[in-house]
Structure 1
């Protein structure tokens, strides 16, 4: 903690809540990951591999569909001015119900396909059951984004950690008394009420009578960009496993999956939180000049905080991998180190995403995400023709060659370098 206090003193006062938010998400993530490891150990001993496979497929499909719920409606609440906040919230409340209903229908369609086309009745039943999550979400989504708008990121991190912890404990309990795929899937629905109660207790809000809802066009541009970005990011994070498994086999996929989670997976969860906490910080800027100043601080914080961690992971992989995960994984340490290098472009991408969304450039962020996804997965597929290490190097080099320069260019433009010869800083146009 003394180190954190010293770091906090070096930061501009306005940036300190961002550090607090990152620490809150980081500590929550660290705690839930420890519990997750323990849960995996128990599940591996209690549940048959075939049942785990059924649950994994059901949950993967659920996660693919659930990304559609990240529609960008909530980001419009964060970006709203004080004058328009009430009308934006009233409109968002209605849109959340309509949108989540649509997502539930998409998931039911996936369930029907799994049942009728692939004959997977159990997976279909799981997907149908999990649509109950979308019935509960809309009642708490406005509250969540109001919490983020007011900078109460420690509260949102605590709520997320509480839900995840409850999920793991329920998995443990159900695995002991009902060792089946349902023990892994059912907690996703059972913990949804926990999340809803916590967010409604943390932030009081109800539709404001007499205030007209904002028109739909207030949401469309930001929502479309956010949705495309979130979907392509999930595709990149999931399809790489499918490509490796299809081209190199299940054993190679196991090594890749472990290396990814033991290295890049640890860092990426924290880096992704960077975009979450920076977006409200950038939206709170009072002028174009203030926003550029906040962007500069955001870049310094992101690179200064995470780059040393990534470098340490790369250099120390040969030491910490066998100590933490056992000697049987020592030969995978070089693969862990290679994949850790992908975290550097991810840092600039997180800051770039927050900046573009805060300045009305969510559509451009979506295009960047699509280009990066195609480049990374294409390079991975080519690298698989060489072998597992070749695949990892190809994946990382594609991110350094595509994601890093594009997002760095966005950030440089945001800092006003294109107007460096002018006497007064201009408003940034991305």
Structure 2
């Protein structure tokens, strides 16, 4: 945290104090979590096999795809809407969440069977995949109890609460994962903590914001929410597809063990950078929404945020990738040396990601998520074709494809969005 605080302190007049505080809290939460996750990764690397990692990659992929539909637009609409429609959106969104989240649980259980069939030639037993996928969907039945409170907290820029919730969730999850891995529970060291820590996060949000639905079951604002959220949901689905398409291709064409090696390299290489990117994105949307009334203020806030992103992401990525050949065998064990080239390539692909994500948030803030959806459709198509070409050179070819596509296309989207939205400033 001292490094992050030093960076942020140099820009007190270029960015609002609220945004700096929010980013500091989220950054501190991510750093604390990552320190403990580093210890967890060491334990998992020494007690789990590449096959376990491969199964975890598949379960994680399914979960990420399903979680996209958790954000059908309720939270984003609560953050973005005007004050006079907030009560209506919250009450309708509460019941919409229950309908969607319950459906997601049953949908994930049903999908477990065709997914296991898809990987049947690579599995020891199909039940090794079916049961974890079903069990991993249980948190969907819990989240409606706190989803509205969480969105209201973000709307009010009280991201300190989000940071505390994230730290509690992550530390509890890491402790349980390490315990289960040491006891030899394999894939369950990944799955069970997701379920066991969810109530802790729910309690924090409910204690931090005393909101309750004020009306009986209603669908009054469902159309408004869904019309606003459909493009956001589409974008998130395409991002989830891109984030996991490499897992799907490697697992199907190269094998579960190879997927485990790639999954380790991806998480060890990109995990830290993506956590910082996530913190920035969480802080930037409500910040931009507050400034959207004035194009000049919006432009100042946005470009100041980009400066902070630059100061954080470049040193972090360069340092991590340049030291990989030194720290991986020492920290994780020599059995993971084979994953170092993958780690380095994936790590470098993090450089353009936060800038493109910030551009996406800018489009959402000004009410143009449809443009973000069109871009993501095109980019996902190019990305998929690149991975199918790269898989011919095994996992290293896939990692190289990920790097090349991100380096070539994300800067183009970022520059175009900046000019399109902010040209009037």
Within the alignment, does 1:346 sit opposite 2:346 as a pair? no
| Residues 280-291 of structure 1 aligned to structure 2 (within 5 Å) | 280-285=286-291, 286-291=293-298
Query: Partner residue of 1:409?
Result: 416
Query: Partner residue of 2:228?
Result: 222
Separation (CA, whole Å) in 2 of partners of 1:383 and 1:116:
25
**Among residues 144, 156, 159, which one is paired with 1:153 in the alignment?**
159
Partners of 2:150 and 2:205 within 8 A in 1: yes
The structure having more radius of gyration, on CA atoms, is 1
**Among residues 296, 309, 315, which one is paired with 1:302 in the alignment?**
309
Deviates more, 1:51-60 or 1:80-89: 51-60
**Among residues 144, 149, 163, which one is paired with 2:150 in the alignment?**
144
Within the alignment, does 1:7 sit opposite 2:13 as a pair? no
CA, structure 1 residues 381+191, in 2 after alignment: closer, same or farther (shift >3 Å)? Answer: same
Separation (CA, whole Å) in 2 of partners of 1:315 and 1:54:
29
| Residues 265-280 of structure 1 aligned to structure 2 (within 5 Å) | 265-280=271-286
CA, structure 1 residues 371+197, in 2 after alignment: closer, same or farther (shift >3 Å)? Answer: same
Separation (CA, whole Å) in 1 of partners of 2:286 and 2:180:
39
**Among residues 242, 246, 262, which one is paired with 1:240 in the alignment?**
246
CA, structure 1 residues 296+43, in 2 after alignment: closer, same or farther (shift >3 Å)? Answer: closer
Give the SS at the match of 1:263: helix
**Aligned-pair distance for 1:51?**
6.2
Unaligned runs of 5+ in 1: 420-424, 426-430
Alignment: residue pair count: 418
| Residues 368-387 of structure 1 aligned to structure 2 (within 5 Å) | 368-386=375-393
Deviates more, 1:346-355 or 1:284-293: 284-293
Partners of 2:314 and 2:351 within 8 A in 1: yes
Query: Partner residue of 1:422?
Result: none
- CA deviation map 1:366-401 (0-9, x unaligned): 222222222223223323335655443332222222
Deviates more, 1:103-112 or 1:270-279: 103-112
Unaligned runs of 5+ in 2: none
Within the alignment, does 1:165 sit opposite 2:171 as a pair? yes
Partners of 2:42 and 2:331 within 8 A in 1: no
Deviates more, 1:369-378 or 1:196-205: 369-378
CA, structure 1 residues 414+11, in 2 after alignment: closer, same or farther (shift >3 Å)? Answer: farther
Separation (CA, whole Å) in 2 of partners of 1:142 and 1:130:
22
Separation (CA, whole Å) in 2 of partners of 1:327 and 1:51:
18
**Aligned-pair distance for 1:315?**
4.6
**Aligned-pair distance for 1:338?**
3.2
| Residues 98-113 of structure 1 aligned to structure 2 (within 5 Å) | 98-111=99-112, 113=114
Query: Partner residue of 2:69?
Result: 68
CA, structure 1 residues 3+287, in 2 after alignment: closer, same or farther (shift >3 Å)? Answer: closer
Separation (CA, whole Å) in 1 of partners of 2:324 and 2:182:
35
Within the alignment, does 1:257 sit opposite 2:257 as a pair? no
CA, structure 1 residues 200+3, in 2 after alignment: closer, same or farther (shift >3 Å)? Answer: closer
Using structure 1 for the length normalisation, give the TM-score: 0.84
Within the alignment, does 1:91 sit opposite 2:98 as a pair? no
CA, structure 1 residues 344+187, in 2 after alignment: closer, same or farther (shift >3 Å)? Answer: closer
Query: Partner residue of 2:399?
Result: 392
Give the SS at the match of 1:207: coil
CA, structure 1 residues 214+358, in 2 after alignment: closer, same or farther (shift >3 Å)? Answer: farther
- CA deviation map 1:264-314 (0-9, x unaligned): 332122113222210000011142332222222222222233223334445
Give the SS at the match of 1:108: helix
Using structure 2 for the length normalisation, give the TM-score: 0.85
Partners of 2:346 and 2:399 within 8 A in 1: yes
**Aligned-pair distance for 1:222?**
2.7
> Comparing both chains, which one has the higher relative contact order based on Cα–Cα distances under 8 Å and sequence gaps of 6 or more?
2
Partners of 2:50 and 2:261 within 8 A in 1: no
**Aligned-pair distance for 1:100?**
1.0
